Structures are given as structure tokens and as C-alpha cells.
Amino acid sequence: MLQNDHYTYRITWSEEDKEYVGLCAEFPSLSWLDRAPEKALKGIRQVVAETVADLESNGEAVPEPLAGKQYSGKFMVRIPPELHRRLAIEAAEEGISLNRLASDKLSRESG
């Protein structure tokens, strides 16, 4: 197992497989199926550890854990002009900035 395993793991139920599936955000092509969620987590962590070891031994880049990245709080999104206009009008009617409106809407969607 990795000494500093700071990757982002998620365990979810797979209705198709009728088992729990272990996933890692930094390695989206990897997964591990098991009947027990604890074993699905252990399995995906082992697969990630083996993958990292293989990447390192071949001199390939190893993904940085998302937990260790610094985020600025800014990102650019391209939207159709008509949507931009509608959102700008909505923001003006609410007396807030377009940035605040978009932030509020994203917060509600991801919460």
C-alpha cells in the first residue's frame, strides 16, 4: 500500500454488477468490485498502489492527489450568449453580481 495514499476514493453500489464498486477520482479508468464496501475500498486502494508503482518504475507521471492541490476559486465557463444575457438579467433583477448569481446556483446544484 502507498505510504502517503492521499487520493480521492469513493465506494458506490453498482446495480448492474450487484456489488460495490471502488473508484478513485485521480485514476478514472480504475475500479474494483466486491460484495463488501470495505473490501471494495481495500481493492481499489491496492490497484492504485500497484498502478502508481508501475508508473514510477517506468518513469511516467503520477497524478497529484486532488487533496494536495491549491484552488484559486476562479474558473472560466463558456456559455451561449442568450444564456449569458438571461443570467445577467436575473442577477440585475436580484441586485447581485453575475458572479454571485452563478456561485449561488452552482452551490445549490452541488450541495
Global pTM reads: 0.71
DSSP 8-state class, residue 69: -
Q: What is the pLDDT of residues 11-22, one digit of tens each?
A: 999 999 999 999
- Give kind and range of the element (H or E) at residue 87: helix 81-94
Each residue's pLDDT tens digit, 32-84: 999 999 999 999 999 999 999 999 999 999 999 999 899 899 989 999 999 99
Average pLDDT over residues 4-29: 95
Classify residue 23 as exposed, middle or buried by CB count within 10 Å of its CB (0-12, 13-18, 19+): middle
Domain boundaries, the chain: 9-66, 71-110
Please give the angle made by the CA atoms of 105, 108 and 109, to the nearest 5 degrees: 85
According to the model, what pLDDT value does residue 5 have? 84
Q: d(Cα 108, Cα 88) in Å, to the nearest integer?
A: 18
Helix axes 81-94, 98-110, angle to 10 degrees: 100
Per-residue model confidence (pLDDT) at position 15: 97
Task: Reply yes or no on whether the pLDDT at 3 is more than 70.
Answer: no
